[in-house]
Structure 1
């Protein structure tokens, strides 16, 4: 089934970001670019830079001790430098933007099918577990899906995951997570899709597919009945009434060409998704020690042997956010920590002691997103999360 949201959104974004020049990822992480699309683009750029570094390692493998800690540290740092100075060339911009819009809009409707299709682009696998989780990271919405896979990898420790296993795991988690949802909870989960639908609302057939994939047959049937009655699109308020079992309102107004994709039909903010995500966080488990100490980055080995102690703020920022993390200090404090420098430093000290990304992600969700009512899809929230995660992922190629 084609997604009717793709072409209007793509045209809107190409008008705002024409393919007349190169773009740095941070240049397009602003309105009217949906944060989830900007996130996908940034992940694509990071993956390309990581693969470039991996090819460099392979090219010099016979001439250099690539497993030496100093070499590992240098190549890891190189990946970060390349990402900070990356550009999406104008010749690739339209195709990459189309890919991002198509995948993100499909994901918001059929997340499990889209994740499996995206992860296993080359076949049914199996793929290394770290490649699977890295590719899942291209999608910012519905974070419980990726969290479930990461928890599975940490708990079971598989070297690889194949297509059937990933599909079964994601389908089970997606249905369990939404079982027994009430209208308010469904609306929270649908926030990203409703924002893309804008003032025109979301096509009913997409909403029907969304609920059918989650096993919510009664709600899918209500939407089918609404479509038979002439309703083609639903906004947030109309959808809430339908989910709550009230009469279906008149059809939504036809799309307005100049409408911003970021607006909801009611103009009201939808409850942030982290509230549901935090309702059932995955139990954190420490990462098992690496068999080869040289395989662990120097920064992580140092941190494991020493607490934050009296480390000053710049040192914490370098350890947690990267070499240039301090440059974003004011932005993070203002937009993520309600202007509190003390809260910012307190969270960095907690992150410094977190032994795994699973624990670090829960600290971010609880002490940043929840505590300060942060929109997890904002460019600043995504940038902060990516910076912290990079210290654990080490710039893995996808």
Structure 2
């Protein structure tokens, strides 16, 4: 079923409510009749045209007027502000503008990554400057974590422009991993804008199953998509409301967990999912800088192996060397450092962000502070940034911070620790995985396993 299944009836309804016999401004469509994603798109479109109009007028200046005079500057500033404030969609362009807005926003809600690639690059294969990409992404309101990911990726990699392929790789990785451990309630909340659009389009808060399947397939949630296919083949309905979707997702997730428990443990998978060392991460980085590896730096390569960590100290490879997974299995007590340790210095095993100076107000210097002792066990020799972690990673919840550290303290491997960080911190609190706090926290925990 085409995405126009919702977009067409939504457009026709809105055009009846807002006929193309006048110009329209933001105040006109600021009503419950217009879905918020469509409002957001139209608002940003007016802002865009207002800026363009202002730029054209500024370029029309000549030396016959002293535009640097204070009175002229003040008058020009007032005039240009008024232009942007009073932008409007002309009546003769309203119908096409409304059609474009309804179809693009509906496409975005179902298939965000392909829609953003098409919109940001306009079928071009050439790199586009990052500020221009970010400006175009702002036409779409929901799924703000995708915009944050592009901004953070460009900042971390010091990129001034991105190619379409690199852009898509970043978004797909973030989109899949952000939702990888969603339960049914969180999936339904993520779909709330789409259900609202459906209600405005059809008077029923239900979405066609074909569109929901596409939505889940885009995020690599194949088990849920398959469950929706089976439900549709049963002939019960071709569209579902949130209350009917929730149990279908629950069933799919239960089946998925059962299958994972039945998968036999494979020694090869342990090595395949072991964390990459810095040297490996660097050598896999291509000269063009647009490889898939760039979309997910080393600390972001969260291990997917869900089997229990193995603890047999005698396990070795056929050549007698120690398997890679065992290198991250035990950590030294932070209270008994070895000054003659042959381990590489932190500067060789951590990213630059992990060596940032500690927040002087972050952790208590009192050695009897239980939380400080817990931080020393979890972070090892890396100074913690307690205040920043609690505020930016745990939304100000110190108890949640402490509970996570308690879990990390008894974890036997970096693989398991990375899963805890991914599910209980980044996804639970919707953290931007490329933020300085997220990178510093992850690097500190990983470095402790290497001490």
Give the TM-score taking structure 1 as reference length. Answer: 0.57
Offset at residue 101 of structure 1 (A): 0.2
Offset at residue 24 of structure 1 (A): 1.1
For 2:196, the equivalent position in structure 1 comes to 195
For 1:155, the equivalent position in structure 2 comes to 156
Q: 1:78 to 1:228 in 2, by over 3 A?
A: farther
For 2:183, the equivalent position in structure 1 comes to 182
Q: Kindly indicate whether the alpha-carbon contact (under 8 Å) linking 1:209 and 1:220 is maintained by their aligned counterparts in 2.
A: yes
Offset at residue 63 of structure 1 (A): 8.5
Q: Kindly indicate whether the alpha-carbon contact (under 8 Å) linking 2:195 and 2:205 is maintained by their aligned counterparts in 1.
A: no
For 1:385, the equivalent position in structure 2 comes to none
Q: Kindly indicate whether the alpha-carbon contact (under 8 Å) linking 1:145 and 1:173 is maintained by their aligned counterparts in 2.
A: yes
Alignment of 1:249-398 (within 5 A): none
- Equivalent pairs counted in the alignment come to 252
Moved more, 203-212 or 192-201: 192-201
For 2:230, the equivalent position in structure 1 comes to 225
- Cα separation, 2, equivalents of 1:163 and 1:123: 8
Q: 1:96 to 1:69 in 2, by over 3 A?
A: farther
Offset at residue 59 of structure 1 (A): 4.2
Q: Kindly indicate whether the alpha-carbon contact (under 8 Å) linking 1:200 and 1:233 is maintained by their aligned counterparts in 2.
A: no
1:243 corresponds, among 246, 249, 272, to: 249
Q: 1:118 to 1:65 in 2, by over 3 A?
A: farther
Bigger relative CO (Cα 8 Å, ≥ 6 apart): 1
For 2:168, the equivalent position in structure 1 comes to 167
Partner SS, residue 99 of structure 2: helix
Q: Kindly indicate whether the alpha-carbon contact (under 8 Å) linking 2:54 and 2:83 is maintained by their aligned counterparts in 1.
A: no
Q: Kindly indicate whether the alpha-carbon contact (under 8 Å) linking 1:109 and 1:193 is maintained by their aligned counterparts in 2.
A: yes
For 1:30, the equivalent position in structure 2 comes to 31
Alignment of 1:27-106 (within 5 A): 27-60=28-61, 79-106=80-107
Runs (4 or more) in structure 1 with deviation over 6 Å come to 61-77
2:144 is the counterpart of 1:143: yes
Q: Kindly indicate whether the alpha-carbon contact (under 8 Å) linking 1:25 and 1:88 is maintained by their aligned counterparts in 2.
A: no
- Cα separation, 1, equivalents of 2:39 and 2:46: 11
For 2:22, the equivalent position in structure 1 comes to 21
Q: 1:155 to 1:60 in 2, by over 3 A?
A: farther
Offset at residue 25 of structure 1 (A): 1.4
- Cα separation, 2, equivalents of 1:147 and 1:81: 31
Give the TM-score taking structure 2 as reference length. Answer: 0.51
- Cα separation, 2, equivalents of 1:58 and 1:118: 27
Offset at residue 95 of structure 1 (A): 0.5
Q: 1:86 to 1:135 in 2, by over 3 A?
A: same
For 2:212, the equivalent position in structure 1 comes to 207
Partner SS, residue 4 of structure 1: helix
- Cα separation, 2, equivalents of 1:214 and 1:188: 15
Q: 1:157 to 1:89 in 2, by over 3 A?
A: same
Offset at residue 64 of structure 1 (A): 9.3
For 1:341, the equivalent position in structure 2 comes to none
Offset at residue 52 of structure 1 (A): 2.1
Q: 1:237 to 1:90 in 2, by over 3 A?
A: same
Offset at residue 29 of structure 1 (A): 1.4
Q: Kindly indicate whether the alpha-carbon contact (under 8 Å) linking 1:53 and 1:78 is maintained by their aligned counterparts in 2.
A: no
- Cα separation, 2, equivalents of 1:111 and 1:147: 14
- Cα separation, 2, equivalents of 1:74 and 1:154: 37
- Cα separation, 2, equivalents of 1:221 and 1:196: 24
Offset at residue 54 of structure 1 (A): 2.6
- Cα separation, 2, equivalents of 1:68 and 1:182: 61
Offset at residue 69 of structure 1 (A): 12
Partner SS, residue 32 of structure 2: coil
Compare CA radii of gyration and give the structure with the larger one: 2
Offset at residue 68 of structure 1 (A): 12
- Cα separation, 2, equivalents of 1:166 and 1:65: 45
Q: 1:75 to 1:131 in 2, by over 3 A?
A: farther
- Cα separation, 1, equivalents of 2:156 and 2:82: 33
The one-character-per-residue Cα deviations of 1:230-289 (angstroms, maximum 9, x if unpaired) are: 22001010001111118xxxxxxxxxxxxxxxxxxxxxxxxxxxxxxxxxxxxxx9xxxx
Alignment of 1:119-138 (within 5 A): 119-121=120-122, 123-138=124-139
